[in-house]
Amino acid sequence: MDIVSQNFAKDLQSQIQEKFDCIFLLLDSNTEKYCLPKILQNAPYLADCQQIIISDGEENKTLQTIEQIWNFLSTNGATRQSLLLNIGGGMVCDLGGFAAATFKRGINFINIPTTLLAAVDAATGGKTGFNFLGLKNEIGVFAQPQAVIINTSLFSTLNSRNLYSGFAEMLKYGYINSENLLNETFKFINTNAVLLSHCGLDQQSQKYKNEIAGQACNDRDRTFVNLIRKNLEIKQYFLEIDHFDKKERKALNFGHTFGHSFEAFSHQTDCPILHGEAVAWGMVCELFLSHILLNFNKIEVVKLYSFVKENYPKPAFCCNDLEQIYELMQHDKKNSANRINFTLLSEIGSVKINQTATKEQIFECLEFLC
């Protein structure tokens, strides 16, 4: 159950009315500092819950952190009747979901995403896991949370870079769904880019918080919430027809084959990039590959390239690194029969899954960014 909440305390309370013998809160150090006070202010009944604090950052999305969570649960009396609340971004939701799904063969968990990216991506859909051997989400299981409760006021804690990371995933939904949704999403982002640059979300502007974070009842908030709901409806559609990501759900992987390799490569350098940033550039490459293989409109490729170049840091690789990025792509979970698997578009809203390309065509796309 995905809830874009208008009354966080009430919605959460309704989910935990079932008697659990113990409730645990999983947070990373950033969430503990910036989001937990807001949550406790709205839901003071969580103050007595035991807290598991893990280190923030993609470099901590490891088996060692999973063990830390398991150890805390085990030594603090967790049972199969316990509940884990995952409060944080994508890393917390992925790790917490995996830890809950495997502890004592499974305990209930609820995701409370604190980032836009997590709200429209990692918190929903039931994919859990951790990175292994430098590969993104290499180990994991499918496990559905009892609920996902999205409190948009928490997004006021985000800086502009993290907000744009979430916007990238929202754009993905537009590309795989319809030109109308894509244009609506671009319009919303471009309109609010003015707020980002002039009101200064990085300085925690109260005006910005009131206008964009879901705290003021205005047209902008309603558009924002409606876009999130549309994204979740699209994801839910694919979940219902292909829960285990075998066929139709692969549409949601658009931008991620290149994107995951960019993200993994960046974490081997001094310039790591966020998941949404990697996906933004991944969509550029996969639209370019769509143009090569499926005659996708090149004007649309250039349009996205210009937008991404203006708003997202570029992956720090050069032409000498292409073999390494190609090697990372060969380990993507969506591959089969030793072929790199892509989700491409013949036009906006027309998804073609299980597409393959030659090494030369893949390098052509990578060289497009060099």
Q: Is the distance from CB of 287 to CB of 304 less than 8 angstroms? A: yes
Same-domain pairing of 16 and 150: yes
- The confidence score (pLDDT) of residue 193 equals 58
pLDDT of 5 strictly over 90: no
**115 and 184 part of one domain:** no
Decide if pLDDT at 233 tops 80.
Answer: yes
For residues 145 and 11, state if they share a domain: yes
Q: Which of 187, 207, 241 is the last residue of a domain?
A: 241
Tally of structural domains, the chain: 3
Spatial separation of the C-alpha atoms in residues 85 and 353, rounded to whole Å: 34
73: enclosing H helix or E strand? helix 63-75
- Taking CA atoms, 28 is separated from 51, 87, 137, 274, in Å, by 10, 8, 18, 16
Which tokens in the block code for residue 292?
């090569």
How do beta strands 130-132 and 135-139 pair?
A: antiparallel
- On whether the CB atoms of residues 255 and 244 are closer than 8 A, the answer is no
**336 vs 179 pLDDT, higher one:** 179
Specify whether 121 is located in the same domain as 47.
yes
CB 35 within 8 A of CB 154: yes
pLDDT digits (tens, 9 = 90+) for 12-23: 999 998 789 999
Residue-level pLDDT at 195: 59
Contact criterion met (CB below 8 Å) for 96 and 126: no
Looking at the structure, tell me whether residues 292 and 317 fall in a common domain. yes
Q: Identify the pLDDT of residue 4.
A: 87
* Shared-domain flag, residues 123 and 27: yes
Please indicate, yes or no, whether residues 220 and 338 belong to a single structural domain of this protein: no
- Residue pLDDT, tens place only, 201-231: 444 444 444 444 444 446 778 889 999 999 9
Final residue of a domain: which of 241, 256, 290? 241
* Confidence at residue 134, expressed as pLDDT on a 0 to 100 scale: 85
CATH number where 136 lies: 3.40.50.1970
pLDDT band at 200 (very low <50, low <70, confident <90, very high): very low
Range of the domain at 134: 2-156
Give yes or no: residues 117 and 199 share one domain.
Answer: no
Burial of 237 (0-12, 13-18, 19+ CB in 10 A): middle
pLDDT tens digit sequence for 74-102: 999 999 999 999 999 999 999 999 999 99
* pLDDT at 192 (0 to 100): 76
Strand ranges (DSSP E) for the chain? 2-4, 23-28, 50-54, 83-88, 108-113, 130-132, 135-139, 147-150, 342-347, 350-355
Q: Which amino acid is at 106?
A: G
pLDDT in tens, 303-329: 999 999 999 999 988 889 999 999 999
* pTM assigned to the model: 0.90
Q: 272 vs 1, which has greater pLDDT?
A: 272
**Does the pLDDT value for residue 157 go beyond 70?**
yes
| Tokens found for residue 232 | 């979740």
Residue 194 confidence (pLDDT) above 60: no
End residue of a domain, out of 241, 270, 298? 241
Phi-psi label, residue 204: left if phi above 0, alpha if psi -120 to 50, beta otherwise: left
Q: 332-351, pLDDT tens digit by residue?
A: 877 877 899 999 999 999 99
Q: What is the CATH number of the domain that holds 355?
A: 1.20.1090.10
Same domain, yes or no, for 330 and 259? yes
- What integer best gives the mean pLDDT of the chain? 91
Long-range interactions of 298-306: CB distance < 8 A, separation 24+: 300/348, 304/171
Same-domain status, 7 and 30: yes
pLDDT score for 331: 87
Q: Which residue has the higher pLDDT, 250 or 191?
A: 250
Note whether 27 and 108 are same-domain residues.
Answer: yes
From residue 52, alpha-carbon distances to 28, 66, 347 in Å are 8, 11, 45
Asked if 179 and 274 sit in the same domain, the reply is: no
Q: Which of 32-46, 115-129, 253-267, 333-347 has the lowest mean pLDDT?
A: 333-347
Mean pLDDT for the stretch of residues 28-50: 94
Question: Which of 300 and 318 is assigned the larger pLDDT?
Answer: 300
If you average pLDDT over residues 236-253, what whole number do you get? Answer: 94
CA 27 to chain centre: 16
DSSP secondary structure, 243-288, as one string: TTSSSGGGGGGTTHHHHHHHHHHHTTSS----HHHHHHHHHHHHHH
Tokens of 229: 């709901």
- What is the per-residue pLDDT for 197? 40
Tell me: pLDDT of 199 over 70. Answer: no
Confidence of residue 370 (pLDDT cuts 50, 70, 90): confident
